[in-house]
Amino acid sequence: MYRRDILKLAGLTGVSLSAGPLSHLFNGSAKAYAEGDQPLFLSVHAGGGWDPTSFCDPKGRSSENQPDPVNHFMIDEIRTPSVSSPIRWAPMGRNEEFFQAHYDKLLIVNGVDTSTNNHSTGTRYLNSGQLEEGHPSFAAMLTAAVAPELPLGYITNGGYDITRGVVPRTRLGSLGVISKIAEPDLDGDRLFHPESVQGRMDEFSNRRLNQLRQRKRLPKIVKSLDNLQAARSGQNELKRLNENLPDLDLFSTSLGQQGAIALAGYRSGLTVAANLSVGGFDTHGNHDVNQAAALDRLSTGLMELWAEVERHGLEDRVLIMVNSDFGRTPRYNEGNGKDHWSITSLFFMGAGVQGNRVIGATDEGVHALPINFETLTLDPEGAKIKPSNIHAALRQQFGIDQHPLNAHYPLQDSLIPLFT
Amino acid sequence: MMKQKINLSVITLCLVISWGCDSAQRSMIELDEGAGDATAGDATAGEGREGSGEVIEAGVENAGDTPPLIPETDPPEDCVSDLDFFEERVWRPILKPMCLDCHNPQGAAQTTDMVYVSEEQQGALEANYAVFADISALDRDGAPIVLQKPTNQITHGGGALFGEEDEEYEVLREMVERARAGESVVCDDLSSEGEDEVFEGVLLLGAQQTLRRATLSLAGRLPVADEIAAVEDHGWSGVELALNNVLGSEAFYKRLREIWNDILLTDKYLGRSNAIDLLNNDRYPNARWHLDQEEQPRNEAYWAAVDYANTSLAREALEHIIYVVQHRRPFHEIITSDYIAMNPFTARIYGVQDIDWDDPLDPKEYREGRAPGVPHAGILTSPMFLNRFPTTETNRNRHRARIFFKLFLGLDVFKLAERPIDPTSTAHNPTMNDPQCSICHTVIDPVAGAFQHWDEQGSFSFREAWYGDMRAPGFMEEELPFEKRTASLRWLTLQVADDPRFDRSIARLMYEALIGDGLLAPPGEGDYLESRERAFNAQQRYIDRVAEGFRANRHDLTWLIKSLVRSPYFRATDLEPEMDLNPELLAQWSHLGLDKPLIPEQLNRKLLATTGARWRPNHTSQDYLLDEGQYKLLYGGIDSDDVVDRIREPNGIFSNIQRRMANEMSCKVTAYDFTKDPEERFLFPWVETTYEPLDSNGFVIPQVEELIRTNLRHLAWTMWGERFELDSPELDELYALWLDIWTLGLEEVEADTVSGSLHWSCRGAWNLTTGQSLPSEQQVSGDGRFVIRAWAGLISVLLNDPAFLYE
């Protein structure tokens, strides 16, 4: 089919080509990942607590003299891509460039009640669906549900990356180093040990590991040896990652680089999910300058990331969730900064997302407004959106709502039909 | 049932008196093997072997001589203390599931007299028991209110929860009776009762292997001959002696710095002038003295001074901790001392001139120092600590207070409010007036006030008054006395040093550092609850006991570490082969065993200790495993800045790094080891490069085979900590591996598919420490018979084995 044309058409109509559940893509095996038929989940965390009123839930002031304003910019500076679009953004950072280019792919959820103003609690809630400790991140859970045996199944660059032991997590940093360890048996262009010798060494090591695994009986040690065996099973597969690693000079932001590495892992058939992160949002002082700088890094990074997604034609394979710890107060403190606020926003872009949409809202004091969970419209009789509602939707979207892990890590609230 | 009716304060006094010295104390050795399991005479004896008779199961009486930690008393038969009864019969089955949802500080019943706290809060059980005991005293119409409410005989917001005929009622009635009795039922709470049960069937490391694990973990080295001999001769007393040696060594202090940097993260400020830049130039005009030496040539000495100055300052808090431990000071001095450990470089930065140094240029010389005009409180008043845990104008030191609670009182304040709250509440001054906020702020704000004179840059800046819209500075219920207001932090820490929560918190931190896992969380609903509760309770009791011992031993950290090393938590290694592995028992043992790969720093030290060489590109480079640009972070390490939590579960990257390490190191050290005299070799003291086990006709040369086997045994012990007999199946397998590698390799050399010389990178041609070329007659570069490469292959296998890579 004429994919480019269809994409263009989809953009014009404001409907993403790839909207719809992703669960049909899964057949739950590492092999399927290796063949590139499975979706990739990327969780982008804006660390420190972003200010949605300076971003995707803009609140301007009505006049220069308005006392105690939410923001210093004016209401009439707030931008939108078109009269009919519900999407609006604040005139800060590179918001304009980002939203103009990508509004048609975005599903924004405003007025999310995190019920906390604590960094770690909010980050945990938004990325695991549970306020209290105890749940793995959604990315970890997804990896464990669909392909736990992949050696780089879950890549993390920070944010909430607790796994609860359901799957190992991997940090990937310097690419130069990765290329070296991808070929651990090579000393330059020669083998450390002749092939026949290496084969005998490997046979001994594998047998000993198996024997050790059979002999040991303490559950923790058994599990640890199982993890080691799983990790070693993918030793050769790092070579594929090495082949797919991008040229980092193409990216100006850390977020772009992190995303490109995750995409390389995915394209190598090794990765199911990744945490990406960008910091600097905890703007207790000099908010306007510092928050704008952080938003700039976020927007630029997301644009680089999406360009890389497009470069590889993965628009209908990659779902990105972007969130933070919580929001920021609807007023400035004495240091011209903003403190913690429990109401926040998040958004999705990519595969399975019907874009150019906004769900939920806040009032002028940045209090969350209740919505009807069936019609997704504001409703005084409805309920506030919580991260747990969103995670219920995510689990369904990725088809793991019937997986045993779902029952093991239950969510306390019902699903909000974000993706249908 | 026999009950022991005594007054709590009396028993406390008795215990304090009887804990006056080490010799009056009982250790966890009660659970250990006896000293007699070490066999004297054979140089290799005494090193316990997993699955062999040398590893003794838990619960066997100690025939040895290790002094007890806690005086043994016979607990009354079937004694159930009030607290145990409350926990097991009242709290878990009744109050927690039926009442806590409303009767908590934010719940619907928050304004009643019965408000319980979350189990996550340290001391929650005792606090909740006290609440119940208070309520039990109240009657209405001649009957306890606490019995009438849940049966709805008095109007209860939650309605009727059970009737008088139900078991819950009977249990509550007995609890009320106990609470009203006037005298508490206290059993021997300090016994190890319950712990033994958890460890029944668990195999523990013997004395020699415990020593090996401890020396590697704490000092990054293998036990030396004298230490091995001490354990052979004296059993567990020998372990104690050897540990005394380990815990006084510079290598241990290095590990201790790592442990505490994982907690304090002040290594963030290493490098360039990152630490010095944090200081307020007006307050510390000398801070940049070494950088301002315009006439000083920019030579090696200058750059050394720059590095020493910044490193010394960045590590100020860590070095203070080392100083306290090294000088056997009570560990609470890390926060209570009215000084900070200074070396000549930090003293000069702070403008301290009254210290008489032995060598004013020695960065390792530490003394007690007092910066002018600074009321010290150990590490808390270090600008490094204060910057790493910063404050802002609106935060008002609350972040610092939260960290203080977490580290030194074992209380995660956030967990007090780990329930949905509405911080957008419009209550006036919510931290004072909104219960959702005040639940935490009541706790942390007084301590935040104790930090009042320490500004955002971490400098002392005296304030006449603290914020009027916050709770007054103090600690718990006690307000900061006016006359103590200048040295408010020291006043605070002296309170804390008296608080048993400090003992427990430090015990917990050190447990986590040595065992690699946190303590078990209170068991929630789910399968095998009883087993999990048993494990949880035993671990809690153990931590309580060791914390009590820590206090009784004047907060001697080395005593605490020795206790942890001897504990079954450190030594658990397997299960008895005949144990029935039913799920209930497995749930009980789910937390036992050290299962983590060594952290990069430990693996790096182990490589050096076992091979005598560092893993690095060349002799001037940083070690791969310590270099953040190389493998440190990829192997799960931290940079103390952005990456602050370690990854301890192996992943694909880990396994490739391990394999590369094994290959590179075996290439690098094998020929190099052969360049040394046999008595100086780490790896090959029993063989030479000319030793081949078969003659030209293919017949075995028994003497050579025995030497190769002897060397393999040496390597198995050195690398893996496993002691094999020369004719054991394990050694047979290793020998067969060596023989196969040699045979296969030799065939390739003879077929000319592989060179008869070593690749240049694997030659023994340079001193790996200095980089200098070795004399030509000493160099090892030819390998026409593949003997060296056979050993290299074997070394690679040994290094890439879990026995080497794991704790």
A15-31 confidence digits (pLDDT tens) = 333 455 565 555 455 55
- Tell me which of B461, B486, B511 is where a domain ends: B486
Report pLDDT digits (tens) over B403-426: 999 999 998 887 766 556 666 665
Within a domain: B557: no
Instruction: Give the lowest-confidence range in A303-307, A363-367, B94-98, B109-113.
Output: B109-113
- Highest mean pLDDT (candidates A172-176, B164-168, B379-383, B575-579): B379-383
Q: Are residues B663 and B763 in the same domain?
A: yes
Residues B697 and B786 in one domain: yes
Which pLDDT does position B427 carry in this prediction?
Answer: 63
Q: What pLDDT digit, counting tens, does each position of B209-234 carry? A: 999 999 999 999 999 999 999 999 99
Instruction: Give domain status of residue B193, yes or no.
Output: no
The answer to whether the CB of A246 falls within 8 A of the CB of A308 is: yes
Residue A64 has pLDDT above 80, yes or no: yes
**Are B316 and B454 contained in the same domain?**
no
Question: How many structural domains does chain B have?
Answer: 5
Residue A168 near residue A154, CB atoms below 8 Å: yes
Tell whether the model's pLDDT for residue A174 goes beyond 70. no
Task: Judge if B790 and B680 occupy the same domain.
Answer: yes
Phi, psi of B613 (to 5 degrees): -135, 160
How many angstroms separate the CA of residue A81 from the nearest CA in chain B? 31
Residue B270's domain comprises: 252-369
Two tokens, residue B65: 């001589």
Closest CA to B221 of B200, B192, B250, B179: B250
Partner-chain residue, chosen from A116, A173, A193, that has the shortest CB–CB distance to B793: A193
Domain boundary among B486, B519, B538: B486
DSSP-derived secondary structure for A354-404: --SEEE--B-TT-PBPPB-TTT-SB-TTSB-B-HHHHHHHHHHHTT-TTSH
**Whole-angstrom distance, CA of residue B667 vs CA of residue A293:** 49
> Does residue B672 sit in the same domain as residue B758?
yes
Tell me the nearest-neighbour CA distance from B25 into chain A, angstroms: 31
Residues B282, B337, single domain; the answer is yes
User: Out of A344-348, A370-374, B48-52, B484-488, which region has the weakest mean confidence (pLDDT)?
Assistant: B48-52
Chains A, B: CB contacts within 8 A come to 219
pLDDT at B161 over 80: yes
Amino acid at A211: Q
Question: Do B285 and B313 fall into the same domain?
Answer: yes
In DSSP terms, A169 is beta-bridged to A154
What pLDDT, on a 0 to 100 scale, did the predictor assign at position B426? Answer: 58
**In the prediction, which pLDDT does B672 show?**
98
CB contact under 8 A, B659 and A171: no
Least confident of B100-114, B312-326, B413-427: B413-427
β-bridge partners, A341: A327
> Across the interface, do A335 and B653 touch by the CB < 8 Å criterion?
no
The reported pLDDT for the residue numbered B581 is 84
User: What pLDDT was estimated at residue B441?
Assistant: 79
pLDDT digits (tens, 9 = 90+) for B750-802: 999 999 999 999 999 999 999 999 999 999 999 999 999 999 999 999 999 99
* Contact in structure between A378 and A354 (CB atoms under 8 Å): no
How many Å apart are CA B44 and CA B232, to the nearest integer? 10
φ, ψ at A190 (rounded to 5°): -120, 160
How close is the nearest chain A Cα to the Cα of B803, in Å? 10
How many Å apart are CA A233 and CA B656, to the nearest integer?
Answer: 10
Is A279 close to B596, i.e. CB distance below 8 A? no
Angle separating helix axes A195-215 and A219-233, nearest 10 degrees: 160
Which residues of chain A neighbour B797 with C-beta distances below 8 Å? Answer: 201, 204-205
Q: Name every chain B residue with its beta carbon within 8 A of the beta carbon of A184.
A: 656-657, 659-660, 663
- Distance, in angstroms, between B722 CA and closest chain A CA? 13
- Residues B273 and B403 both lie in one domain: no
Compute the average pLDDT of residues A163-185: 82
Average pLDDT, chain A: 88
**pLDDT reported for residue B100:** 84
Q: What angle do CA A154, B639, B369 make, to 5 degrees?
A: 150
Return all residues near B520 (Cβ < 8 A) that are at least 6 apart.
B532, B535, B536, B539, B591
Residue A22: the pLDDT is: 60
pLDDT band of residue A165 (cuts 50, 70, 90) is confident
Q: Which of B782, B786, B240, B274 is nearest to B563 (CA)?
A: B240
B493 part of a folded domain: no
Q: Would you state the structure tokens that stand for residue B66, as one six-digit string?
A: 């290790």
Kindly list the structural domains of chain A, giving each domain's residue range(s) and its CATH number in brackets, ordered by start: 3-174+253-408 (3.40.720)
Average pLDDT taken over every residue of chain B: 84
Q: Say yes or no: B258 and B350 in one domain.
A: yes
Rounded CA gap, B413 and B438, in Å? 11
Provide the pLDDT for residue B425: 63
A209 or B643: which leads in pLDDT: A209
Q: Which two tokens stand for residue B634?
A: 């990829």
Helix (H) or strand (E) holding B480: none
Tell whether B63 is covered by a domain.
Answer: yes
Top residue of A132, A177, A329 to mutate, by most chain B CBs within 10 Å, is A177
* Same domain as B65, residue B87: no
Point out the least confidently predicted range of A53-67, B151-165, B374-388: B151-165
Contact B422 A163 (CB under 8 A): no
pLDDT at B651: 85
CA A262 to chain CA mean position, Å? 11
Residue A32, pLDDT above cutoff 90: no
The predicted pLDDT at position B38 comes to: 26
| The predicted structure's pLDDT at residue B35 | 28
The answer on pLDDT for B137 being more than 90 is: no
Please indicate whether residue B93 or residue A396 has the higher confidence score (pLDDT): A396
Say whether A105 sits in a helix, a strand or coil.
helix
Of A194, A204, A220, the CB nearest to B737: A204
Report the residue from B421, B654, B747 with minimal CB separation from A115.
B421
Task: Using the predicted structure, report yes or no on whether residue A232 has a pLDDT greater than 60.
Answer: yes
User: Of the segments B29-38, B468-477, B565-574, which one has the largest average pLDDT value?
Assistant: B565-574
Q: Which residues in chain B are contacts of A201 at CB distance < 8 A?
A: 737, 741, 793, 796-797
Across A147-176, average pLDDT: 84
Q: Do A196 and B748 touch (CB under 8 A)?
A: yes
Confidence at residue B553, expressed as pLDDT on a 0 to 100 scale: 94
Checking if the pLDDT of A191 tops 50, the result is yes
Out of B418, B655, B667, name the one closest to residue A187 (CB).
B667
Whether A118 and B414 lie within 8 Å, measured CB to CB: yes
Asked whether residue B414 is domain-assigned, the answer is yes
Contact B619, B666 (CB under 8 A): no
So what's the pLDDT on residue B46? Answer: 29
pLDDT of amino acid B469: 84
**Does B520 reside within a domain?**
no
Q: Give exposure, A222-250, as e/b (b: 16+ Cβ within 10 Å).
A: bbbbebbbbbbebbebbebbbebbbeeee
Cβ pair A343:B748 closer than 8 A? no
Q: Is residue B380 part of a domain?
A: no
A248: pLDDT confidence band, cut at 50, 70 and 90? confident
Identify all chain A residues contacting B744, using CB atoms and an 8 Å cutoff. 194, 196-197, 200
- Higher local confidence (pLDDT), B685 or B140: B685
In angstroms, rounded to a whole number, what is the distance separating the alpha carbons of residues B126 and B705? Answer: 66
Cα separation, B603 vs B396, whole angstroms: 41
Q: Is the pLDDT of residue A418 over 90?
A: yes
CB B343 within 8 A of CB B363: yes
Mutate to test the interface with B, among A167, A179, A200 (most CBs of B within 10 A): A200
CA distance B144 to chain A (A): 35
Same domain? B781 vs B651: yes
Query: Nearest by CB to A181, which of B591, B656, B802?
Result: B656
Confidence of residue B537 (pLDDT cuts 50, 70, 90): very high
pTM over 0.95: no
Q: How many residues does chain B have?
A: 807
Distance CA B520, CA B508 (A): 11
Q: For strands A169-170 and A340-341, give the pairing.
A: unpaired
Given a cut of 90, is residue B656 above it in pLDDT?
Answer: yes
Tell me if B213 sits within 8 A of B205, measured CB to CB. yes
Looking at the predicted structure, is the pLDDT value of residue B80 above 80? no
Confidence of residue A36 (pLDDT cuts 50, 70, 90): low
Q: Specify which of B88-92, B146-150, B324-328, B637-641 reaches the highest per-range mean pLDDT.
A: B324-328
Q: Is B575 contained in some domain? A: no
B185 DSSP assignment: B
pLDDT above 50: residue B12: no
B291 — pLDDT class (breaks 50, 70, 90)? confident
E strand or H helix at B625, and its extent?
Answer: none
Give me the pLDDT at residue A179, please. Answer: 77
Tell whether B229 and B117 lie within a shared domain: no
**Predicted complex ipTM exceeds 0.90:** no
Say if residue A49's pLDDT is above 60: yes
Kindly state the percentage of chain A with pLDDT values over 90.
Answer: 68
For chain A, what is the largest distance between any 2 Cα atoms, rounded to a whole number of angstroms? 81
Of B451, B486, B521, the residue at which a domain comes to its end is B486
The answer on pLDDT for A41 being more than 80 is yes
> How far are the Cα atoms of B14, B16, B325 from residue B9, in angstroms, in the given order?
9, 11, 32
d(CA A45, CA A160): 8
From the list B424, B748, B796, the residue facing A341 with the nearest CB is B424
